[in-house]
Amino acid sequence: MTPFNLSAIDFQWLPLLPLIAISLAAMVVLLVGVRVEDDETDGLGWLTIAALAIAFVLTFAMSGQNTTAFSGSIAIDDFAVFFQLAILFAAAVVVLMSLNYANETRLPGAEYYSLILFAALGMMLMASAGDLIIIFLGLETMSISIYVLAGLKRSDPRSNEAAIKYFLLGAFSTGFLLYGIALIYGATGTIKLEPIRVALSHGVGLSSPMLMLGVAMLLIGFGFKIAAVPFHMWTPDVYEGAPTPITAFMATGVKLAAFAGFMRVFSLHLIAVSADWSSVLWVVAALTMTIGNVVAVVQTNIKRMLAYSAIAHAGYLLVAMTAAIPAAGAAMMYYLVGYVFANLGAFGVVTALERRGEANDLISDYRGLAAREPGLAAAMAIFLLSFTGVPPLVGFIGKFYVFTAALQAGLVWLVVIAVLNAVIAAYYYIYVIVAMYMQEGGVPVSKMSLRPGLVATITIALIGTVLIGIYPQPYMTAATTAFNSALGLGPIHAASLLP
């Protein structure tokens, strides 16, 4: 009998273990959940969190590598690990937020939690993609799951509208992405990112109109996913209509995955033509910040206000991307981590104000919240102040890094526009704080002691928002090391970027 030979195992499968774990867990949750009542889905939620935790450990074990698998289709580097860990964390916190919510709203638990896992799978694929087709597969796996999750409240017309709008516009943007992939293949002769970078560095296709048109098509495809102007119109309607934890997932997980793919393609592998696409991004960043903040000022629904806020924050991130220098890439990654914590917390508070059958998502519903739930109001105030950019919270440090990198690249006027937009944003964030602390009325809040998952969500987000702002160096160093690993450089200490 021939003994079992470990050397016969194809070790290129090892980097896929986190993805395999998520896939298997999604199928197990779906099968187990068939026999679970819609108002007793806590067990499925905890099973999902356990699967995400296992995938988190497996992903962390990949740290420090800088190689590829499957002939370069999957990238194994700290850049991928950084984004995958952030995505898994965001997904786990969203599930934690959903434990009571899913029961109260009688969402179908099997479909709900399995789709979150499948969406996380697509997001992780986008972060580790080594070629354009893997980015497309990850994008579609994520998008189809989110389309369904957005419309999972089948009896709510707003949820149905959100799903239809997101699906139709998402399908339209996918066409642009695929067309862009085809044109870039035609110009460079490959769909793999590293060979594309090498070809462009040697001048192959640089003068080709086909390449420029392909880059433009990719910008449209990614622009839709990050909610950049003028591809942002779906955002407020989808944020308002989707179940609130799923809105939080869109604001964090989808944003992480979209920027991971966007950065890997443009900031890392299309850097040879950055002079062409950065000029377009300059205009897009300025419009995205300005329109997002100006329209947010007049919103009366807090989910729509946070949607336009998300558009504005995409604009701030595009400021760094326009800079097209390594320091800007690391600044974007730090900013995204801080943005995830603050967003999860803010949507956690929005979820806390919902009651069975009542959305309670008007800003006027937050009046007097400090008198009824002082802890909840204080947490929301901190999250909003972080969005505003008040020191020493993570939002301030994130903006500092982004604006500093942009100034290093000579984007003075774009930074001036960004700073002016931050002043505009302060108005609508502080308006909510004024409503909570200085006005009377509002709606009662269900006892938080009966919703431990939601309390844990808000607490975790609060700790992260404060801690990463006070002690930014470890996180900025990790972001710098991760971005440099994707560039093929050694770790560079980020102390020179710290205030």
Statement: residue 491 has pLDDT above 60: no
Residue 459, C-beta contacts closer than 8 angstroms, at least 6 positions apart? none
Burial class (CB in 10 A: 0-12, 13-18, 19+), 44: buried
Percent over 90 (pLDDT), the chain? 43
3-class SS of residue 73: coil
Average pLDDT over residues 126-136: 90
Residue 59 lies in a domain: yes
Average pLDDT over residues 266-278: 84
Average pLDDT over residues 358-374: 85
- C-alpha distances in Å from residue 306, one per residue of 40, 257, 267, 347, 395: 30, 19, 27, 9, 15
Buried b (16+ CB within 10 A) or exposed e, 72-96: bbbbbbbbbbbbbbbbbbbbbbbbb
Within 13 Å and on the Cβ side, how many CA atoms surround 47?
20
Range in 192-196, 341-345, 380-384, 460-464 with the lowest mean pLDDT? 192-196
Q: How confident is the model at residue 498 (pLDDT cuts 50, 70, 90)?
A: very low
Statement: residue 489 has pLDDT above 80: no
**Counted domains in the chain:** 1
Q: How confident is the model at residue 327 (pLDDT cuts 50, 70, 90)?
A: confident
Report the predicted TM-score, pTM, of the whole model to 2 decimal places: 0.92
Residue 7 lies in a domain: no
Q: pLDDT for 427-457, tens place per residue?
A: 999 999 999 998 887 777 777 767 888 899 9
Residue 400, C-beta contacts closer than 8 angstroms, at least 6 positions apart? 499
Residue 9 lies in a domain: no
Instruction: Supply the mean pLDDT for the chain.
Output: 86
- C-alpha distances in Å from residue 183, one per residue of 176, 322, 384, 437: 11, 23, 42, 55
Report pLDDT for 482. 87
Q: pLDDT for 7-59, tens place per residue?
A: 444 556 777 888 999 999 999 988 887 777 766 677 888 999 999 999 999 99
Which residue would you say has higher pLDDT here, 170 or 84?
84
- Positive or negative, the CA dihedral 181, 187, 189, 194 is negative
Report pLDDT for 39. 63
Statement: residue 129 has pLDDT above 80: yes
- Positive or negative, the CA dihedral 14, 52, 261, 320 is negative
Q: Can you give the length of the chain in residues?
A: 499
Which segments of 320-454 are extended strands (E)? Answer: none
Report pLDDT for 268. 86
Residue 5 lies in a domain: no
**Which range marks the domain in which residue 473 is found?**
15-497
Average pLDDT over residues 205-213: 81
Percent over 70 (pLDDT), the chain? 93
Which residue would you say has higher pLDDT here, 153 or 344?
344
Which residue would you say has higher pLDDT here, 201 or 143?
143
Angle between helices 302-323 and 234-241 (to 10 degrees): 130
Place of tokens 């002079």: 275
Report pLDDT for 488. 65
Residue 4 lies in a domain: no
Report pLDDT for 241. 85
Average pLDDT over residues 269-277: 83
Report the Cα 295 to chain-centroid distance in Å: 22
Residue 6 lies in a domain: no
Residue 1 lies in a domain: no
Residue 136 lies in a domain: yes
3-state secondary structure 423-447: HHHHHHHHHHHHHHHHCCCCCCCCC
DSSP string, 86-148: HHHHHHHHHHHHHHHHHHHTT--HHHHHHHHHHHHHHHHHHHTBSBHHHHHHHHHHHHHHHHH
